[in-house]
Chains A and B, each alone.
Chain A
Amino acid sequence: MTSSLLTVITFVPLLGAILTLFPWGRWLGIDKDREERLIKNGATAISLLPLGLALMLAAQYNPSAPGFQFEIKVPWITALNVHYHLGVDGLSVPLVFLTTLLTTLGLWYSAQTIKTRVREFFFLFLLLEMGMIGVFVSLDLVLFYVFWELGLVPMYLLIGVWGQPKDRPQYSAIKFFLYTMAGSVLMLLAIIGIYLSVGTFDIVEAARLKPFADNFTLASLAFWAFFIAFAIKVPSWPFHTWLPDAHTAAPTAGSVILAGILLKLGAYGILRINLPIFPQAFKAYGLIVVILGVISIVYGALVSLAQWDLKRLIAYSSVSHMGYVMLGAGAAALAIGAQEWTDSGVMALNGAALTMFNHGISTGALFFLVGVIYERAHLRDLKMFGGLSNKLPYYYGLFAVTAFTSLGLPGLAGFWGEFFVFRGAFDIVRIWAAIGVIGIVLTAAYILWKVVQYVFLGQYDPHKIKHWTDPTTGAEGHEPTDVARFEKITLWPLVFFMVLVGIFPAVLLNYFNAAFLALLTSLAGK
């Protein structure tokens, strides 16, 4: 069981995806409505399986044991020494869990809100889950690349088909695809380069053998090829321009997955590949990464501050939040080999990983919350809202917790990621960390001023939005209805994790800390 657990988690979604394709309506003799409901509920139910198994994985994972666990390694393409090699360490376990959690919630939410082309939607969503989990558990570069690209295709279709027509979904979808693809083809060349240098595609082996150890130019080229591929996905300034379009155009659950998981794929790649395999190059260019991170933090927050579209605002806030991850990773790279900075480096990495998880939870929840209001008002213009705290108190409560998590209020999850990133980075890159702190102030500004104040505070004006839809019945009314039961079910698990990690960050730090300590110590030894 231990060696096949990851395989099962990865491919159960594929099985589920294939199951959605069968003509159940004809086989069971039910009409189209009931068939669609069957597909919706079936897909959601199947996604509970990887979620449960991911919980089991997290429970059985032993943080104090070194190296990768639950490993499986069988030859795949013998001519190229490519293996089907899966395994998890302290970094990937929480991310696998995050993926399965957000997928299940996304499927559950979509089961209530997706009305058109149901079968395709649920097929693609499950396929997407397989691609994302696959990236987090792959320990072979070719396998990693295959899963990396596999996640791209379903998301392209999700944006293009189910996007809101006024958000230019077709344009956003192709932009998303081409940006990622431009990065990944360069990554492919670098993967080939690693193979030609050390004769293996294995991530663990490559990290041990250090490709291009004697040729800094080639090592730099390969480093940048990987880094740009991941920075596009993260996305770091200046590669971020696909993000606001894609996030805004995607259907709610698509935005949740985009912000919650797909961005993490890029950050994960930096921590999984760039840092262990090219430590020398990363150390040499660490400052550039730090600066890119700081620019992303400040720029993303400033642009968020200027948005009037709620969804676009949250999309840009992702650029800002992912900047913390870059800052932490860059600072940790600068700490390689410097004995006195090891602690700070590990803390910066812990912060980066915590931010990845927390951002997945909080921004995922924010996109769900945008979906909640959009399903009712059919618009997202901040100027059209106001005074909703009286009308939708439950919604206000959920939104407030999530928004405060996002701005890093102590006691909620978001705080710890930022705290550890800055605690680590301040030691290593003091000036840049100090500039980055401005981002926290700006985040508070756009969350409190733009979101909370414009949407919830002030006087409710019944003339601004005359038609409110009730998402459960589809009935039109003059008054907004508060959060429905299915929306509560979607949001409560996320709120639970915001609070849990907020008061007890050790649940995650247990996983991260040991892995990063081992990583930085091993790199220092080289």
Chain B
Amino acid sequence: MSLNDLIFLLPELILLLAAAAIFILDLIGRRPDDPDTLMRPAKPWLSYVALGGLAAAALGLLPGVGQTRQVAAMLAADPFAIFFKALAILGVALVIAAALPYMRTRTPYVGEFYALLLVSAAAICLVVSAANLIMLYLAMEFLSITSYVLAGYFREDRKSGEAAIKYFLYGATASAVMLYGMSLLYGATGTTDLAGIAQALGQRGRADLLWLGGPAIILLLVGFGFKASLVPFHQWAPDTYEGAPTPVTAFLSTASKAAGFAILIRVFLSALPDLQPLWVALLALVSVLTMTLGNLTAIRQTNIKRMLAFSSIAQAGYILIGVAAVAAESGATAGPFDGINGVLIYLFAYLVTNVGAFAVVIAVENRSGKVEIKDYAGLIRRAPWLAVALFIFLLSLAGIPPTAGFVGKLFVFGAAVRAAMIPLAVIGALNVVVSAFYYLNVVRVMFFVPPEPDAEPVVVARPLQATVLLTGALTLLIGLLPGWLIQWADQSVRLLAWR
């Protein structure tokens, strides 16, 4: 590794530096001998340091744009990784902006919160560019451990603690199982490099591939599926999403989930291309299970965070359609419905939409402390713009044009039809109808049910307003003028050591 290669690590380095800066700046003025200074709320401008760090990290992505190479033997610098890094940075920035008023009223320890979010953004950057099983495992653990801490951030709150411990127990098991899968791959091929694994497996016979690759795929999917909350590795998600601080839920359901998809795509495509028929069948099955179970369970939910948790499980199912329908041939002949580009478009659209939806949940929760769907009664009277924004986000989640979610669904369903997976496409389409039912249930409560007599108007803090406005505008922009996103996603379907 030459020193010049460090330029590809700029985003990670900037994020870690900014996190360290926040840790230190937060400590300035606090003296161990004076408890008052210890409990003093964090300086409000720390959040802007965090946002500045994220902006700098986004700029740090620029030198790597368009390049495809292996850095330090462990990391891939390719357009695919850049896309996901940008996604993570955007997601964390939106979450921090949404979290500003929420965290301030709930805990004095705000500085570490921002720092931890920055660290997890750095972890996602490493996960999505890992080109080696060792690096992959380390990065996944890095992301998991910061996420556990974030989920349990309100240590006085039992639900938050439960969220963290559940997440941790499931996560520890899943990562152990995944590690076992990795050891199988290493044992079979003698290398931990993803491209090397593909090469070694390519020289094996069909029977060997099946016996070695089959179990390895399933075991790896446990780890990836845990991050992406795919059924049947999703059981942690509802409780964790419900109990965790709402901004953390927004983070876990978007940026962290995207990381799970990124690594799933990278490993399956670049290390296991010879096993494609096998994992395509498996992923199609998991996709059907994920969207159907997620949607059917979401119908019964009365807590909006829990409803959005199951909805986010179902969304993962739709996204997986795109992976299962990946084009075996090269992108040039597959046309616009390539599969992977659909996943990228969907993930971007979903991130913007879901963070927006959670921003509205945060706004309502911050004002009233309530997270039941029935507490949204008459929101159109109490906070018209918030209700309209949530309406747009829910339409987008349901995939109704002209919103971002429609474009995402168009591309993943398009990939399924192109791959002649008609039953998968039809099951997905019918699931969309089921999902419309519970999304519109929230709309019904907001628009049709009169507000409780004692319900107050919802006043929204500025940074949160900005988040809602920005995500809402992006949701509509992607729905009306998706050209730039499609183009970006098409260019980002270039992975190191694939095709």
Contact = CB atoms under 8 A, between A and B. Distances in A.
A156 B402 CA distance: 16
Contacts of A181: 400, 432-433, 436
Contacts of B429: 185-186, 188-189
Nearest to A81: B336
Given A80-B336, A196-B335, A150 B430 contact: no
A449 B437 CA distance: 40
B48 interface: no
Nearest to B417: A192
Contacts of B443: 157
Contact of B426 (A150, A189, A195): A189
Contacts of A221: 422
A69 to B, nearest CB: 26
A178 interface: yes
Contacts, number: 83
Interface string A131-168: 00000000000100110011011001100110000000
A445 interface: no
Contacts of A195: 414
A173 B433 CA distance: 14
B52 interface: no
A56 interface: no
B25 to A, nearest CB: 42
A306 interface: no
A182 interface: yes
B395 interface: yes
Contacts of B336: 79-80
Contact of A80 (B422, B433, B486): B486
Contacts of B337: 192, 196
B410 interface: yes
B440 A174 contact: yes
B417 A79 contact: no
Contact of A189 (B380, B413, B436, B437): B413
A177 interface: yes
Contacts of B196: none
A189 B425 contact: yes
B448 interface: yes
Interface in A102-153: 120, 142, 145-146, 149-150, 152-153
Contact of A169 (B430, B448, B487): B448
B402 A146 contact: yes
B483 A77 contact: yes
Contacts of A174: 437, 440-441, 444
A120 B417 CA distance: 39
B447 interface: yes
A177 B409 CA distance: 19
Nearest to B445: A170
Given A182-B430, A182-B433, A193-B417, A153 B395 contact: yes
Interface residues of A, number: 33
B401 interface: yes
A142 B430 CA distance: 19
A142 B337 CA distance: 15
Contacts of A161: 447-448
A153 B394 CA distance: 12
A188 B410 contact: yes
Contacts of A186: 426, 429
Main SS of chain B's interface residues? helix
Interface in B404-441: 406, 409-410, 413-414, 417-418, 422, 425-426, 429-430, 432-433, 436-437, 440-441
A169 B449 CA distance: 11
Interface string A79-108: 110000000000000000000000000000
Interface in A458-485: none
Interface string B40-65: 00000000000000000000000000
A78 interface: yes
Interface in A219-262: 221
A153 B430 CA distance: 19
Contacts of B490: 79
B482 interface: yes
B486 A79 contact: yes
B447 A157 contact: yes
Given A169-B448, A189-B413, A192-B413, A156 B440 contact: yes
A185 B432 contact: yes
Q: 4 smallest A-B Cβ distances: which pairs? A: A185-B429, A146-B401, A79-B486, A160-B448
Interface of B: 335-337, 380, 395, 400-402, 406, 409-410, 413-414, 417-418, 422, 425-426, 429-430, 432-433, 436-437, 440-441, 443-444, 447-448, 482-483, 486-487, 490
Interface of A: 77-80, 120, 142, 145-146, 149-150, 152-153, 156-157, 160-161, 169-170, 173-174, 177-178, 181-182, 185-186, 188-189, 192-193, 195-196, 221
22 contacts: A77-B482, A78-B483, A79-B336, A79-B487, A146-B401, A150-B401, A150-B402, A152-B400, A169-B448, A170-B448, A181-B436, A185-B430, A186-B426, A186-B429, A188-B410, A189-B413, A189-B417, A189-B425, A189-B426, A192-B337, A193-B417, A196-B417
